[in-house]
Structure 1
């Protein structure tokens, strides 16, 4: 909810949002980086226990982020009916802006940020080289919406350029619907230290910051893929820690002896006054209470234990079974797979003897999840294209609300299967062949542009050959089948 519309009031409110969300976002970031909450252990644990705690961290969070992120690649842009389909130069200004902003690579950080924290941002601004778009971190950026659940355009946005220190105040940039401001502050929690300077026009008709939200509910809250999985991640870490403890202290047989006192640790006695280096006797080493210190027993597979006293009994204690711990870890990972909609074989690595149909069924939930992200992120990228077009003065594209982002098809299909299916579509449904180019697996826009250029060259050469063929006296074009011409 927007409390005030003055630049100072907006700056205070936006910095307050960053202060409010700081701990939550930092906790999410810690889990992505592998800095997890410690598993439970006794209060008097020694250094060996604490070492096992560090080794118990099994960080699944990057995989939960990377799996959908690796299927989210914007491959092209298609204009809607409000703008001309293709300019004379052959390249859409929207896609030229994409390439000049290096968004082929930078889109990855934007998508991963939104999947991690629930939202990320981009800034589209005019530079000396034209309009450019760059990503903004959710940990440094906040935006205000009149209706955060439904509005695409922020009322105002702020991003921190430099955090405050003892020597220098913090510095931030803020945008509203018309102007950009410089903001300084001493602390996110200190509203009185906030100052706003140097308002200037940013050139767009609305706030140039765009939000990328992984999921937004009707309360305007955003949630990523990490935060809901933290309890399950903690459960896995706890089970792994218990496994390491059992493996370290109880995974081997313990040999026991009853009816026999261990031999005492002996030390030499030098009792010859004439020769102080001569050992005259041995005596037991005693502790602070005067009790003999037992000598260490080197028991291993090469040594045989025996006793002279017939009443001495040797026995052993069985090792702790580790199967239950391993099954518990496996169960927790399966729960993680189900709740996060990540295929089990991505987490467990078990893909042996799976048919193509079984793999497709396992990927179905992930495909639906990715499609949901594409719908959300696609709307945001389309707004970025409109903002860039407005800053570049391309009015038709700036008002094109029916443009569409085209995503790269990342489904694993063989080229033979795709060729067979596309051939049947072209033949049975009479779909133009060129309209099916974008459905060729892993094809890029640059490759399709190259195909179009080569096709035009071939058509031009064929047209010239037909003209020469008809000029030679023939009443028809060159046959498509060379064998016909030979007849």
Structure 2
């Protein structure tokens, strides 16, 4: 068991790690929301156009981040040796609204390179632990040296009012701390040091609940879901590689708009003539001078009168803005290739593509979703194991640890093609229940469907047989006693 000083020092270290990560997490979140700082190619362009295009963005980060998440749907968990998904664990998943919140977690992991899942017992309902997805800006996990899976500690940190709170999860106990937030005022070094001392972590007042609180689960109850993990470095965000090209696209649009403002119309040029002038008269009507005519009047009246016989009128052609749009399309194509996002997700152009062509175009996205299923599924298997531990089911937790997380098929298929393929699989012997899962139904829906088929078979067994169902057959009759001894 850790001492209070050891727990406080560990909270300081983990809080520093969270602070170091928060810069990239917040930056990626802003880019996902379309809040992009406009980058400029020159100081002159910044000087004259910075205010004009402030807040503008052509957001390609969002579809890149959203495209794999829409194909990530958990449908259950199945222990090894079992033929059906675990209904009790799926009930806990549903009662915690994780069918919806898991989508938020997967999106957060794609943007911030990781997200976390926290499991803790529910004193009001011991059968249904509390399971929550946590953002990378508020949670962190510490691993044992040399391991990417064995967790030593975890922490969740958040702000409320003028205080900052931290909960430290260890295998044997849970510590709760708090500290006041710094006001950020300029103070002398001595007063700043005094504030730092006062702002150190102190045990939180928890009333009748002990602090530290024992951890009955015996393991760190928080799991990290890494996005695109690497062997020797941090996981990689889906949007980190898109930001540079996103900045280039925004700059090209700003240049296009500027060019459209100044040079999108044909420009007229007058040579060989002075600016037309009008006489200036005094109160008696006598000419006392001349003044140039305001050229804006010619623009408004769309007329120009020239008396100089040497005057000539010429024109500059309008600017060709397609030069910018063609480069922008190339940039978007680079984003599609680098992130394995189908071009029709980004450009929106489809020209009589066949079903096979669409499947080929989405192959990269499907593989990307399957990779996420692999890594997220490994972490979610640990989450289901923690749920079992929180319910006091140690034997079931060991079984689930070697189980399988079930996902909806990430590949989108035409309904006619899908049913045709399932029918052919049925003809070579695949069971109906397996086919229903491949069709996209969740395990609870499949169980309901099987009950419906059983009821239909009871009322009309012939129709059930003709429809490809199965009917319980009576046992074959025994041998006739009169035939005994007959070869």
Structures share a fold, TM > 0.5?
A: yes
Aligned to 1:9: 9
Q: Does the residue aligned with 1:159 lie in a helix, a strand or coil?
A: strand
CA 1:220 to 1:43, structure 2 compared with 1: closer, same or farther past 3 Å? closer
Aligned to 2:154: 157
Decide which of 438, 450, 453 is 1:452's aligned counterpart: 450
The alignment yields a C-alpha RMSD, in angstroms, of 3.1
Q: Does the residue aligned with 1:54 lie in a helix, a strand or coil?
A: coil
Q: Does 1:243 align with 2:256?
A: yes
Worse-superposed segment, 180-189 or 394-403: 180-189
Q: Does the residue aligned with 1:10 lie in a helix, a strand or coil?
A: helix
Aligned to 2:480: none
Aligned counterparts of 2:145 and 2:51: Cα–Cα separation in 1: 49
Aligned to 2:234: 221
Worse-superposed segment, 389-398 or 226-235: 389-398
Q: Does 1:426 align with 2:433?
A: no
Q: Does the residue aligned with 1:193 lie in a helix, a strand or coil?
A: coil
Gaps of 5+ in 1: 273-279, 286-291, 466-474, 478-487
CA 1:85 to 1:9, structure 2 compared with 1: closer, same or farther past 3 Å? farther
Aligned counterparts of 1:354 and 1:157: Cα–Cα separation in 2: 49
Aligned to 1:174: 168
What is the correspondence of 1:249-260 to structure 2 with a 5 Å cutoff? 249-260=262-273
Cα contact 2:58–2:249 (8 A) shared by 1: yes
Q: What is the deviation of 1:267? A: 7.9
Q: Does the residue aligned with 2:24 lie in a helix, a strand or coil?
A: helix
Q: Does 1:399 align with 2:398?
A: yes
Q: What is the deviation of 1:173? A: 1.6
Q: What is the deviation of 1:51? A: 4.8
Q: What is the deviation of 1:199? A: 0.9
Worse-superposed segment, 326-335 or 448-457: 448-457
Cα contact 2:34–2:59 (8 A) shared by 1: yes
CA 1:344 to 1:40, structure 2 compared with 1: closer, same or farther past 3 Å? same
Cα contact 1:426–1:432 (8 A) shared by 2: yes
What is the correspondence of 1:15-54 to structure 2 with a 5 Å cutoff? 15-40=15-40, 43=43, 49-54=49-54
Aligned to 1:125: 120
CA 1:459 to 1:268, structure 2 compared with 1: closer, same or farther past 3 Å? farther
Cα contact 2:76–2:406 (8 A) shared by 1: yes
Q: Does 1:385 align with 2:393?
A: no
Q: Residue deviations 1:179-237, cap 9 Å, x none? A: 22112234699697123452102331211111111111112401110112111111111
Cα contact 1:211–1:380 (8 A) shared by 2: yes
Aligned to 1:289: none
Aligned to 2:276: 263
Q: Does the residue aligned with 1:155 lie in a helix, a strand or coil?
A: strand
What is the correspondence of 1:34-433 to structure 2 with a 5 Å cutoff? 34-40=34-40, 43=43, 49-54=49-54, 56-81=56-81, 92-127=87-122, 128-129=124-125, 130-147=128-145, 150-162=147-159, 168-186=162-180, 193-197=200-204, 198-264=211-277, 271=283, 292=291, 294-299=293-298, 303-400=302-399, 401-428=401-428, 430-433=429-432
Cα contact 1:387–1:398 (8 A) shared by 2: yes
Cα contact 1:153–1:206 (8 A) shared by 2: no
Normalising by structure 1, what TM-score? 0.82
CA 1:5 to 1:324, structure 2 compared with 1: closer, same or farther past 3 Å? farther
Aligned counterparts of 2:289 and 2:404: Cα–Cα separation in 1: 88
CA 1:396 to 1:281, structure 2 compared with 1: closer, same or farther past 3 Å? farther
Q: What is the deviation of 1:377? A: 0.7
Cα contact 2:11–2:166 (8 A) shared by 1: no
Q: What is the deviation of 1:299? A: 4.7
Q: Does the residue aligned with 2:356 lie in a helix, a strand or coil?
A: helix
Q: Does the residue aligned with 2:157 lie in a helix, a strand or coil?
A: strand
Q: Residue deviations 1:28-56, cap 9 Å, x none? A: 22211222232216546699723542365
Aligned counterparts of 1:281 and 1:43: Cα–Cα separation in 2: 52
Cα contact 2:366–2:410 (8 A) shared by 1: no
Aligned length: 439
CA 1:55 to 1:207, structure 2 compared with 1: closer, same or farther past 3 Å? closer
Gaps of 5+ in 2: 185-195, 205-210, 464-472, 476-487
Cα contact 2:18–2:137 (8 A) shared by 1: yes
CA 1:116 to 1:476, structure 2 compared with 1: closer, same or farther past 3 Å? closer
Q: What is the deviation of 1:140? A: 1.3
Cα contact 2:170–2:215 (8 A) shared by 1: no
CA 1:143 to 1:317, structure 2 compared with 1: closer, same or farther past 3 Å? same
Worse-superposed segment, 357-366 or 259-268: 259-268
Aligned to 2:479: none
CA 1:360 to 1:415, structure 2 compared with 1: closer, same or farther past 3 Å? closer
Q: What is the deviation of 1:99? A: 0.9
Aligned counterparts of 2:278 and 2:138: Cα–Cα separation in 1: 65
CA 1:91 to 1:213, structure 2 compared with 1: closer, same or farther past 3 Å? closer
Aligned to 1:469: none
